[in-house]
A and B are shown apart, each in its own frame.
Chain A
Amino acid sequence: GAGVSQSPSNKVTEKGKDVELRCDPISGHTALYWYRQRLGQGLEFLIYFQGNSAPDKSGLPSDRFSAERTGESVSTLTIQRTQQEDSAVYLCASSQQGRYGYTFGSGTRLTVV
């Protein structure tokens, strides 16, 4: 597609349930990033994939969070045993290697009740 696609756009889940968020990057973009934005906060880095290199997971807030990416395609972010503080907009972005200026998707708004 022309842009970064994220699904679902909205997700309401009960506390303690697992959720899976999906990101389809722009074709040919080797780098993929996950960020989240909690209410009133800036964008918080979660994880970064670059080609076949080991991902930079330094931003993941706890071991309940994990992400996978197969090759240079789709990525999924999984949150296990969701907590209310996980409520946020989860944004995915992709970029070409060596090119600055990510392209962001519209995000998934996660609400944990």
Chain B
Amino acid sequence: DQQVKQNSPSLSVQEGRISILNCDYTNSMFDYFLWYKKYPAEGPTFLISISSIKDKNEDGRFTVFLNKSAKHLSLHIVPSQPGDSAVYFCAASARVSYGGSQGNLIFGKGTKLSVKP
């Protein structure tokens, strides 16, 4: 049973518009959430994260929103650029299971974002 779900395998957006990538989770013990970006033939790279004590975290063009009651988070990219085209993975961690340490991350299947010029 998937604990982290990204229900959209792909998303296509015009350059300059907003990209919204969604992620749902089922485990209420998750208390830290991250987004990773992956280009072909490369490992995933960390993009942005959010702790469960917050509902929003912003870093430049990237903003992550967390709705704990709905067990839902989203990544907003605005404005979208062609270089943002990649696969985006949502990940979650239950730090309490590791005595406060990071522990392992549970990843979704990813959403392939295509930003068209």
Asked if B41 is at the interface of the complex by the 8 Å CB criterion, the answer is yes
Query: A101 with B104: in contact, given A42-B89, A106-B41 (CB under 8 Å)?
Result: no
B109–A104 CB distance below 8 A: no
List chain B residues, Cβ under 8 A from A107.
43
List chain A residues, Cβ under 8 A from B105.
33, 43, 45, 102
Query: A105 with B104: in contact, given A42-B89, A43-B89 (CB under 8 Å)?
Result: no
The one of A42, A56, A98 in contact with B109, judged by C-beta atoms closer than 8 angstroms, is A42
B43–A99 CB distance below 8 A: no
Asked if A78 is at the interface of the complex by the 8 Å CB criterion, the answer is no
Asked if B25 is at the interface of the complex by the 8 Å CB criterion, the answer is no
Q: From residue 35 to 73 of chain B, which have CB atoms closer than 8 A to chain A?
A: 36, 41-46, 49
Chain A 28-61 against B: per-residue CB contact (8 Å), 1 yes, 0 no?
0001010100001111110010100000100100
In this complex, how many residues of chain B approach chain A with their Cβ under 8 Å: the count is: 25
A64 to B112, CA, bound (A): 32
A53 to B89, CA, bound (A): 28
Asked if B102 is at the interface of the complex by the 8 Å CB criterion, the answer is yes
A29 to B112, CA, bound (A): 30
List chain A residues, Cβ under 8 A from B108.
42
The one of A48, A95, A104 in contact with B45, judged by C-beta atoms closer than 8 angstroms, is A104
